């Protein structure tokens, strides 16, 4: 008989988002009359925009012609990689440093395969669950101690430290997952904070895996949209990004990673060369159609649509933030981010999740699902139709004590 992978058995709980979907289903079965609104999973809701849709359709049609057909694209369309470099990084990266993927989450999994189980792992606490769960899956997390995994350093990000962690706790030689704008807190690291992060990584020989999946929601011009605004980051950071949230490609699937040529292992070998190797070995490239849509989203018409789409969700965030503030609930995020992190001091976050579901028929995400420091918090997602957001805000008044 085949043995089960013991790392799978080491996973503490089911993956957070299917668990939320399951609880929603169970509630809906028990209350078929309830019109449930989701402010839970960060899933885009608005239709693809006209210019981007035209790009997708044109590519699908081109593939149906003798002259226009193409097959595997491996590391991605050169034109798309060039355009990503221009639009997001002032053209500072060569296309050999930009890799097109089927999304940031998939890239996280492949990076975990690449770095293997020998390096210490550090995460912000709370954090997007894939950083921890994926590390468990490759045997890099150590055993469960009742509150976290022994091989993972959790850096609390709380109101007390302005949601930026104490970097002195990062072990030397660690892989440091860092997300800004942050999922789930919605906090955005300042330039000075990123300078400190980069300086720490260089001093301690760490590599930062910088998840910038929400960078297009940043409106404050003082806040960096990429870690490479800090010049030395090319020697210590990989950046991940995605078309999912800015242009509604959660279902179309398209993302990218930047792995600068300067980035090296302790041995002096090139991380970029290994990422080419991993990408060529266990990935076969993103869909040609998705890439054409991504390219359309980065021309002037597409960028206008991207801006309007992110503005729409930011307006939703403003409505949610105002509604909970009116209830006396304190929160962070929601200004340069589609997430609002609401504080319910001393409360069990799964209990608050259930209360909101029962009283308001609104699905949220319990903070504890993002790590131990998430206890006592609820994440509200601003991805939703406007009418649903307005209705949810009205229903949240039932939480008034």
Site for ligand PL4 in 106-125 (CB under 6 A): 106
Which of 178/344 has CB closer to ligand PL4? 178
In the 8-state DSSP scheme, what is residue 83? Answer: H
The string of DSSP codes covering 38-61 is E-SS----SPPPHHHHHHHHHHHH
Identify whether the C-beta of residue 209 lies closer than 8 Å to the C-beta of residue 175. Answer: yes
Could you say whether residue 17 binds ligand PL4 (CB under 6 A)? yes
With H, G, I as helix, E, B as strand and everything else as coil, classify residue 395.
Answer: helix
Could you say whether residue 23 binds ligand PL4 (CB under 6 A)? no
Among 244, 316, 349, 364, binds ligand PL4 (CB under 6 A): 244
Could you say whether residue 213 binds ligand PL4 (CB under 6 A)? yes
Torsion sign (Cα): 186, 187, 190, 196: negative
Binding part of the chain for ligand PL4, among 45-53, 99-107, 221-229, 280-288 by CB under 6 A, reads 99-107
- Dmax over CA atoms of the chain, in Å, equals 67
Which of 119/242 has CB closer to ligand PL4? 242
Which of 93/131 has CB closer to ligand PL4? 131
Site for ligand PL4 in 126-145 (CB under 6 A): 128
Q: Which two tokens stand for residue 165?
A: 């962690």
Cβ at position 105, least distance to ligand PL4 in Å? 3
Residue 155: C-alpha distances to residues 21, 123, 168, 371 (Å): 28, 6, 10, 10
In the 8-state DSSP scheme, what is residue 339? Answer: E
Q: How far apart are CA 212 and CA 182, in angstroms?
A: 8
Binding part of the chain for ligand PL4, among 104-112, 134-142, 312-320, 343-351 by CB under 6 A, reads 104-112
- Lookup result for tokens 């997708």: 56
Q: Which two tokens stand for residue 80?
A: 């798309």
Could you say whether residue 242 binds ligand PL4 (CB under 6 A)? yes
CA angle 251, 254, 256 (to 5 degrees): 150
Cβ at position 103, least distance to ligand PL4 in Å? 3
How many CB atoms are closer than 10 A to CB 128?
24
Binding marks (x or -) toward ligand PL4, 26..65, rule CB under 6 A?
---------------xx-----------------------
Q: How far apart are CA 201 and CA 193, in angstroms?
A: 12
Binding part of the chain for ligand PL4, among 78-86, 101-109, 231-239, 259-267 by CB under 6 A, reads 101-109
Q: Which two tokens stand for residue 116?
A: 């293997």
Cβ at position 364, least distance to ligand PL4 in Å? 11
- Lookup result for tokens 């789930």: 184
| # of chain residues touching ligand PL4 (CB under 6 A) | 16
CA neighbours closer than 13 Å in the CB half-sphere of residue 134: 23
Cβ at position 75, least distance to ligand PL4 in Å? 17
Site for ligand PL4 in 153-192 (CB under 6 A): 179, 183
Q: How far apart are CA 135 and CA 387, in angstroms?
A: 39
Which of 1/284 has CB closer to ligand PL4? 284
Give how far the C-alpha of residue 152 lies from the chain's centroid of Cα atoms, to the nearest Å: 19
Binding part of the chain for ligand PL4, among 102-110, 133-141, 283-291, 388-396 by CB under 6 A, reads 102-110
Cβ at position 184, least distance to ligand PL4 in Å? 7
Could you say whether residue 103 binds ligand PL4 (CB under 6 A)? yes
- The contact set with ligand PL4 (CB under 6 A) reads 17, 41-42, 103-106, 128, 179, 183, 211, 213, 242, 244, 250, 255
């Amino acid at each position: 008989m085949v043995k089960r992978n013991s790392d799978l058995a080491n996973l503490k709980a089911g993956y957070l988002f299917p668990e939320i979907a399951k609880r929603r289903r169970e509630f809906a079965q028990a209350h078929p009359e309830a019109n449930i609104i989701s402010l839970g999973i960060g899933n885009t809701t608005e239709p693809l925009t006209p210019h981007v849709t035209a790009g997708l359709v044109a590519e699908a049609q081109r593939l149906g012609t003798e002259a226009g057909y193409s097959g595997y694209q491996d590391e991605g369309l050169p034109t798309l990689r060039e355009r990503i470099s221009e639009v997001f990084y002032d053209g500072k990266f060569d296309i050999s440093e930009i890799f097109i993927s089927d999304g940031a989450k998939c890239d996280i999994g492949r990076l975990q395969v690449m770095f293997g189980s020998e390096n210490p792992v550090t995460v912000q606490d709370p954090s997007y669950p894939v950083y921890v769960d994926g590390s468990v899956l490759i045997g890099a997390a150590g055993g469960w101690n009742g509150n976290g995994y022994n091989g993972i350093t959790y850096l609390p990000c709380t109101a007390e430290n302005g949601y930026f962690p104490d970097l002195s706790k990062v072990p030397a030689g660690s892989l440091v997952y860092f997300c800004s704008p942050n999922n789930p807190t919605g906090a955005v690291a300042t330039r000075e904070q990123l300078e400190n992060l980069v300086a720490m990584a260089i001093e301690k020989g760490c590599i930062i895996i910088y998840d910038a999946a929400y960078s297009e929601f940043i409106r404050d011009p003082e806040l960096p949209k990429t870690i490479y605004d800090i010049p030395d980051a090319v020697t210590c950071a990989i950046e991940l990004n995605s078309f999912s949230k800015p242009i509604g490609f959660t279902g179309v699937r398209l993302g990218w990673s930047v792995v600068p040529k300067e980035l090296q292992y302790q041995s002096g070998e090139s991380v970029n060369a290994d990422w080419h190797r991993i990408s060529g070995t266990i990935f076969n490239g993103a869909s040609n159609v998705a890439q054409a849509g991504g390219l359309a989203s980065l021309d002037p018409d597409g960028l206008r649509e991207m801006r309007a789409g992110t503005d729409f969700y930011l307006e939703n965030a403003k409505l949610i933030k105002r509604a909970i503030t009116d209830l006396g609930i304190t929160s962070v995020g929601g200004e340069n981010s589609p997430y609002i992190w609401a504080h319910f001091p001393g409360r069990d976050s799964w209990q608050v999740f259930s209360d909101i579901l029962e009283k308001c028929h609104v699905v949220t995400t319990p903070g504890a699902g993002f790590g131990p420091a998430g206890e006592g918090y609820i994440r509200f997602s601003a991805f939703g139709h406007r009418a649903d957001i307005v209705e949810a805000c009205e229903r949240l008044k039932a939480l008034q004590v």
